[in-house]
Amino acid sequence: MTLASGRGSIRLRLEELLAAIDAGTLAPAKRLLNHLSAVDVAHLLESSPPRARHVLWQLIDAEQEGEVLQELGDDVKGALLEQMDATDVLALMEHLEPDDVADILQQLPGRIMQDVLRGMDAQDRRRVERVLSFEEDSAGGLMNTDTITVRPRHTVDVVLRYLRRLGEIPHATDALFVVSRNDHFLGLLPVAKLLVCDPELTVREIMQTDVDPITVDMPAREVAKLFRRHDWVSAAVVDAEGKLAGRITIDDVVDVIVEDADHSFMGMAGLGEDEDTFAPVLKATPRRAIWLGINLLTAFIASSVINLFEQTIDKVVALAVLMPIVASMGGVAGSQTLTVVVRGMALGHIERSNAGWLLNRELVLAGLNGMLWALVCAAAAVLWFGDYLIGLCIAAAMLINLLAAAAAGVLLPILMRSLRIDPALAGSVVLTTITDAVGFLSFLGLATLFYA
């Protein structure tokens, strides 16, 4: 099935389900819904307005609820959890891994979280509390504790018999972890090698010792970079003493990568990465209002620059017509640079050692583009208004603003990162203010000089 046909199939199923809900025929809708995978059901829930979403959730089989819930974005997941009590939450978490359980618990009110923890058996509670003790966006917060460990002295035959006794191995197990008697991580035993080796060989003879484990406090972004660089399926996680704490699997890392991409994309508009497409109006309005208010304040800064040159604009009305062109070109150029830099930071490409080279490159690019489009714009302005001075003003202002936009696009994210401010979230607002202010100031300032 192609991607397009897959999307078409999901869209048709959503239309069928919504039609069944509107008609009140819930039995066929329930059958259709519970024949889908958890991922597809989650997609249908996120694609449904609130009323239909509530009905669809009631139609999901109890044993599938936990799997569906962990596939949902935080906004939708949180809205569904708000409607549950501790008993309901315990029931849906029955077959989930500790890291998935921890993710759900972190979205519950404190009182309900404590009730859920008290309702779990002692072993499961210890596992979950261990995951909860780490930061959510760290390796410890990502890891699960379903590891298979072996000792170096055991033979391949002993390990294989041990695995057969287990009956099944955890999801995404591509290697077993070799540990000492005190649970210190020593290396990996790849399953592919285990299956083809001489049964009489010991684990010590065939294990890999050149793979460094991940520490529990490593940021999730750094974990994702390691997985991407080494093409890992799973990786060991160790505590400060080097003892095996758990493992991270590729499915958890994919979630980190997707969330990071969503964060950068939505952050440019001042929105959260888990923004619910169908969130109620009263819930969505305050989130957008905050950034609209910030943008309004920055717009007043740009307007105050224009106000400084009120007399010049009164004398030369053409300036009011051409002003938005200078600001707009600077805004677009700055956004291009900002996007490249924020992406480079996310990938770990930009450090202090190469930031100077990147700044020089962006200034050269801005200079070349600035000269090209300054000439085009100057020619258009002269033809439009028959005034060579206004053509010279707009050409010089455009070049100045594009250079300022390039410098701001590189330096702003670096400065924000050093101040622990997310450049994806705040960078575009500050950049727009700079390009508007510099554009208006240079254009109207030069006009005041030339027409004085």
Task: Name the 3-class secondary structure at 418.
Answer: helix
Q: What is the maximal distance between C-alpha atoms in the chain?
A: 95
pLDDT for the residue numbered 76: 81
**Distance between CA 111 and CA 93 in Å, rounded?**
17
* β-bridge pairing 234-238 and 214-215: parallel
pLDDT-derived band at 269, boundaries 50, 70, 90: low
The domain defined by 149-250 folds into CBS-domain (3.10.580)
Q: Which two tokens stand for residue 101?
A: 């359980």
**Distance between CA 283 and CA 301 in Å, rounded?**
29
Sheet holding 149-150, edge to edge: 149-150, 175-179, 185-190
* CB-count burial class (<10 Å; 0-12, 13-18, 19+) for 48: buried
Average the pLDDT over 219-230 and give the result.
Answer: 88
Query: Which stretch of 8-12, 18-22, 285-289, 323-327 has the lowest confidence by average pLDDT?
Result: 8-12
Taking Cα atoms as reference points, which of 16, 6, 8 lies closest to residue 48?
16
Average the pLDDT over 415-440 and give the result.
Answer: 84
50 vs 280: which has the higher pLDDT: 50
Q: Are 142 and 99 in contact (CB under 8 A)?
A: yes
For 108-130, write each residue's pLDDT tens digit: 776 777 877 788 877 778 877 77
* CB-count burial class (<10 Å; 0-12, 13-18, 19+) for 250: middle
pLDDT for the residue numbered 12: 67
How many Cα neighbours within 13 Å face the side chain of 342? 27
Average the pLDDT over 252-272 and give the result.
Answer: 67
**Distance between CA 448 and CA 441 in Å, rounded?**
10
177 vs 425: which has the higher pLDDT: 177
- Return mean pLDDT, the chain: 83
Q: Which of 277-286, 348-357, 379-388, 420-429 has the highest mean pLDDT?
A: 379-388
CATH class of 3-137: mainly alpha
**Amino acid symbol at 378:** A
- CATH code for the part of the protein at 281-451: 1.10.357.20
φ/ψ of residue 404, rounded to 5? -65, -40
pTM: 0.64
**Amino acid symbol at 199:** P
pLDDT at 280 over 50: yes
Q: Are 56 and 48 in contact (CB under 8 A)?
A: yes
Task: Name the 3-class secondary structure at 185.
Answer: strand
pLDDT at 2 over 50: no
pLDDT for the residue numbered 277: 63
Structural domain boundaries of the chain?
Answer: 3-137, 149-250, 281-451
pLDDT at 274 over 60: no
For 376-385, write each residue's pLDDT tens digit: 999 999 999 8
pLDDT for the residue numbered 264: 60
117-127: b or e for each residue (b if 16 or more CB lie within 10 Å)? Answer: beebeeebbeb
- The H or E element that residue 245 is part of is strand 244-249
pLDDT at 442 over 70: yes
List beta partners, residue 247: 144, 236
Average the pLDDT over 425-436 and give the result.
Answer: 84
For 298-316, write each residue's pLDDT tens digit: 778 888 888 888 888 887 8
pLDDT at 4 over 80: no
Q: What is the CA angle 35-39-44, rounded to 5? A: 75
For 405-418, write each residue's pLDDT tens digit: 999 999 998 888 88
pLDDT for the residue numbered 272: 55
Q: Are 358 and 341 in contact (CB under 8 A)?
A: yes
**Distance between CA 406 and CA 389 in Å, rounded?**
26
